[in-house]
Structure 1
């Protein structure tokens, strides 16, 4: 398909973007600027081919990201090979960017592109998006942490006035992708989706101290049968090194094996 082909008319269906179906894919949205920049840098390093859709999905061009600005607020994008499409893209009021990195779909949108120069050549200038969809459909086995041998996460939260609060939060569950924390309603007010929690420490029994950075993905109110209320704070590991991930997986495997052995003994 040539990049100046348009998709219009009843015989053609317009592309559907997960980015515009936030009710179904909200858990895959990134809000942390550091995470978004990390994805954009990977796109640049890999020379990822990006499809830019506009005119309500009827038109598109193929391009790649060249670099980020020094202040990380903007990026430079190569122009397409068709001058007419490039001109139309500059007039577009909404553009959706899509690419694939390591089999993971990435999407984000902008309200406009601006013309610029890069090394004396025409280029596009875009603003780093505030949200980005990383559609990584990896499912992990989620282990409920043992009540008899609980795991606690120690980290620092920050109040509205900027003051620090050291907290110890029980782990409700753990997986190879992240952890679920138990927070009181007052503690939960200090969390926002997209927040990055640095220097989180968890002592995994028989494995050792796990130190990682977490990103808050979701918050759910939970009410127990006794009427007690708490908030489950779902967090994802941020760039967890393989050696530390192995710690988590060994812990999960051992606890689950012990749990099955107990159940088998009761049978």
Structure 2
């Protein structure tokens, strides 16, 4: 359950580019459901102020949505008194922004939550800050992750990569990540042998079912403070793989 209040200072959603505004209730419900399915953390600003607290979409139905509260009574008091919340979230570096009116406090399994009607509109910025490359199996980078028990480091294949982060598939026995947590002491190994020491922040966790029926988790990880020159190394790798892919498409060896 989220526990702290932060001070930021977002501008109102009205300033967002109109072409990214979603008004179709069915699309809004689908986007909110994806936030709930992926357990994506969001930042809630009561009355659009700079004071915020972490929340999440717990449930979406025909009547509206259920939002997570805080374990801090004073935060819930202020959130319940607010006329609206401005909510900000990010899934795989795609920003989502919406406003819920008059959230009503309730109890859900003895925890404070808030019910609200579906937002009338939602901003979904369908653009990415970085170009992402889906990595070929035979030339995949690898993510080296320190084992929680201090044993041998975990090693995960990188399924896509950009200058901003990576996605990895976790075996069932390696379900060790927590949303929004920062993990220092990781490394990115590129196929040409270059190794980059990185810190990673977990942006998304999605459980999928493999062809054999076994669950598998896909994690979206954001780089936090790349060392000098690392972004250029990653871009060189991306460009090289893209050149090879285009050459194959053009029938070149």
Q: TM-score, normalised by structure 1?
A: 0.49
Deviation of the 1:200 alpha carbon: 1.7
In structure 2, the partner of 1:170 is 157
Change (3 A) 1:213 1:137: farther
Counterpart mapping for 1:32-43 below 5 A = none
Question: How many pairs does the alignment contain?
Answer: 185
Q: Over residues 177-197 of structure 1, what are the superposed CA-to-partner deviations in whole Å (9 max), with x where a residue is unaligned? A: 32121221111x323333332
Larger Rg: 1
1:22 has 2:32 as partner: yes
Partner residue in 1 for 2:246: 260
Could you tell me which runs of 5 or more consecutive residues in structure 1 were left unpaired when the two chains were aligned: 1-15, 41-49, 54-61, 66-72, 75-88, 113-133
- For 2:135 and 2:80, how far apart are their aligned partners in 1? 54
Look up the match of 1:205: 191
Separation in 1, partners of 2:210, 2:80: 51
List alignment gaps of at least 5 residues for structure 2. Answer: 1-24, 52-70, 73-77, 89-94, 106-122
Q: CA deviation at 1:255?
A: 0.6
Query: Which residue in the other structure is 1:96 paired with?
Result: 85
Q: Cα gap change, 1:106/1:247 in structure 2, threshold over 3 Å: closer, same or farther?
A: farther
Q: How far 1:172 moved relative to its partner? A: 1.9
The SS at the match of 2:139 is: coil
- Please say if 1:234 is aligned against 2:225: no
Conserved 8 A contact 2:156-2:169? yes
Normalised TM-score (structure 2): 0.51
Task: Give the Cα separation in 2 of the matches to 1:149 and 1:263.
Answer: 17
Please list, as runs of the form range in 1=range in 2, the aligned pairs for 1:119-198 lying within 5 A after superposition.
Answer: 137-139=126-128, 140-158=130-148, 163-165=149-151, 166-187=153-174, 189-198=175-184
State the Cα distance separating 1:94 from its structure 2 match.
6.9
1:64/1:194 CA distance change after superposition, 3 Å = closer
